[in-house]
Amino acid sequence: MSNLSITATPPSKTPVLVAICLAAIILPLSFVSGSIATPVIGRELGGSAQALSWITNAFMLSFGCFLMAAGALADEIGRKKVFIVGVSLFALLSGLIGFSSNLLWIDVMRAAQGVAAAAALAGGSASLAHEFSGRAQTRAFSLLGSSFGIGLAFGPFLAGLLIAHFGWRSVFLSSMVIALLSLSIGVTRLNESKNPNAAGIDWPGTLLFTAMLALLTWGLMDIPVKGVASFEVITLLLATLVLLVLFIVVERKVSHPMLDLSLFRYARFIGVQALPLATAFGFVVLLVLLPMQFIGIAGMSEEQAGLMMMALSLPMLVVPLLAAFLTRWISSGIVCTGGLLIAALGLVWLSQSIASQNMLATLLPMTVIGIGIGLPWGLMDGLSISVVPKERAGMATGIFSTTRVAGEGIALAIVGAMLAGFVGQGIAKITPNSDSASASVAIQRLAIGDLHQTQRVLPQASAQQLTEIYAGALHHLLLWLAALTLISAVIVYVALCLKKHIAPQPVNEALYQQDQ
């Protein structure tokens, strides 16, 4: 751990590193805390199941959509400016959410918060690269990654603790405090920097990409409400396809595209993109699904649920470092593939524990999943630039980051729709004569873990029946997630272990040589 120590950083640069790492902590903290807070927000403010889902989805969607645009803006007008504006806006919105009593405005502000998070991450990362060089830069980015791990690992427990003692508003107010602390350090210590060769923002590509992801997520989230064959859902998905075609056409014609499509000619680059998608379906969605199970169905307190979730997230503090250590003897492709296989095994095991409705029995499989996902998690950022030519590393990093964040938002929407479908099958069996409107509301409510409201809508169904329906639905969903993780492992193995000598002159020579 000594190579990650702040004391190894030049004293004049330490405040810069602290400011950016504090900002890095609040980004995953805001995501996981939002999922823990959602059930209690629903109890206090009410709102539809779809509106409550947007508390998490709006943040992830806007974060993923604007990450590449924020990076281009940082290069154009200044990294420090974008970082300071992003963190300031994040702090302001966190405070406003903490005092809001309107669910619609909370959803809108969470979307704006995602844009602020994109600016903070893009500006902070670029500033870090400018402030540090050589081995100091490697240490700085390692500490940045560790900061993300801290936010991810302790976010659920911190959120549960705050909610239990101070209410859900304290979750967002605590993020505001951390953001203000980062701001107070960074304003005077960060140096401004720009890219003198910046080509500007690809506005047509950015707008098309954002609209495409928004319509896709909206369509997926409408499936539980209106059905997959409904006119609205089909229209939204077809519009997504049209925007995708337009986006490809535009990106092939503009001189400085937001997304360089020619990078997808590299098989190994495609394989690397499978890693964040696998971690989204095999890990990130569990940060939302499992709190709903623990709090809404099993009746745990937010504090207890936060403690339970640490079994899943704590391995992220240690295992990524172990993964880097293992690459001394084993290729990074094999380590990533092995990690995904372990995670798939953990998901199958977790599905059996959920089916038995033994919550304590979920701790070990959750730990196995965290260990499995932690292996590729520690390597995939380096791999994203090691599998393309050196001069295209910047674009590769931007695409990878966008795939990671946007993929997490889409994964949440897909998983939500699948869970609602499985819940619907169970409700149809026990209430064959209930009217369709009541059944639809009950499905939406139970799919977000709101057992109390589901019983009010379907009084003829007992709590035990509804609990069994949810457990069965989650059991089947986890098996599907295990299958997706297994398929991802195959793709990663084929692309990273079998496809060699594809990308000349990689940036990260050490990783590339290990793969050979």
User: Are 245 and 145 within one domain?
Assistant: no
Chain segment 236-290, per-residue pLDDT in tens: 999 999 998 998 888 888 777 767 777 777 777 788 888 888 998 999 899 888 9
Is residue 443 a contact partner of residue 430, using CB atoms and an 8 Å limit? no
User: Are 48 and 181 within one domain?
Assistant: yes
For the CA atoms of the chain, what is the radius of gyration? 22
User: Are 278 and 380 within one domain?
Assistant: yes
Residue 317: per-residue pLDDT:
82
User: Are 174 and 224 within one domain?
Assistant: no
Q: How many structural domains comprise the chain? A: 3
Residue 205: per-residue pLDDT:
80
* Three-state helix/strand/coil letters over 276-323: HHHHHHHHHCHHHHHHHHHHHHCCCCHHHHHHHHHHHHHHHHCHHHHH
Q: Cα(first)–Cα(last) distance of the chain, in Å?
A: 28
User: Are 232 and 276 within one domain?
Assistant: no
User: Are 206 and 352 within one domain?
Assistant: no
Residue 264 is part of a domain; what is its CATH number?
A: 1.20.1250.20
Is residue 118 a contact partner of residue 63, using CB atoms and an 8 Å limit? yes
Residue 135's SS3 state is: helix
User: Are 161 and 303 within one domain?
Assistant: no
**CA–CA distance, 61 with 67 (Å, rounded to integer):** 10
Is residue 273 a contact partner of residue 403, using CB atoms and an 8 Å limit? yes
Residue 456 lies in a domain: no
CA-to-CA dists, residue 91 to 26, 290, 319, angstroms: 10, 28, 31
Amino acid present at 326? L
**CA–CA distance, 473 with 478 (Å, rounded to integer):** 9
**CA–CA distance, 197 with 84 (Å, rounded to integer):** 22
Pull the structure tokens for residue 262: 């020619």
Residue 516 lies in a domain: yes
- Cα torsion through 212, 216, 221, 227, rounded to 10: 130
**CA–CA distance, 59 with 322 (Å, rounded to integer):** 31
Is residue 340 a contact partner of residue 488, using CB atoms and an 8 Å limit? yes
Residue 166 lies in a domain: yes
Examine the fold and report which residue of 147, 163, 190 is the final residue of a domain before the chain moves on. 190
Would you list the DSSP string of 324-360? HHHTTTS-HHHHHHHHHHHHHHHHHHHHHHHHTT-SG
- Give the largest Cα separation in the chain, rounded: 71
Percent of the residues in the chain that have a pLDDT greater than 70, as a whole number: 87
Rounded to 10 deg, the angle between the 332-355 and 463-492 helix axes is: 170
Residue 127 lies in a domain: yes
Residue 141 lies in a domain: yes
Residue 214's SS3 state is: helix
Residue 503: per-residue pLDDT:
41
- Angle at CA of residue 121, ends 9 and 182, nearest 5°: 60
**CA–CA distance, 462 with 468 (Å, rounded to integer):** 10
**Residue 432 neighbours by CB under 8 Å, 6+ apart:** none
User: Are 4 and 114 within one domain?
Assistant: yes
Examine the fold and report which residue of 190, 224, 241 is the final residue of a domain before the chain moves on. 190
User: Are 177 and 151 within one domain?
Assistant: yes
Work out the burial of residue 26: count CB atoms within 10 Å of its CB; fewer than 13 is exposed, 13-18 middle, 19 or more buried: buried
User: Are 174 and 36 within one domain?
Assistant: yes
pLDDT < 70 stretches in the chain: 1-12, 134-135, 137-138, 142, 194-200, 258, 384-398, 433-435, 499-516
Residue 116 lies in a domain: yes
Residue 110: per-residue pLDDT:
93
User: Are 232 and 119 within one domain?
Assistant: no
Residue 403 lies in a domain: yes
Residue 318 lies in a domain: yes
List the domain range (segments joined by +) for residue 208: 202-257
pTM value is 0.81
Pull the structure tokens for residue 472: 């069965």
Amino acid present at 503? A
Examine the fold and report which residue of 257, 276, 301 is the final residue of a domain before the chain moves on. 257
User: Are 79 and 206 within one domain?
Assistant: no
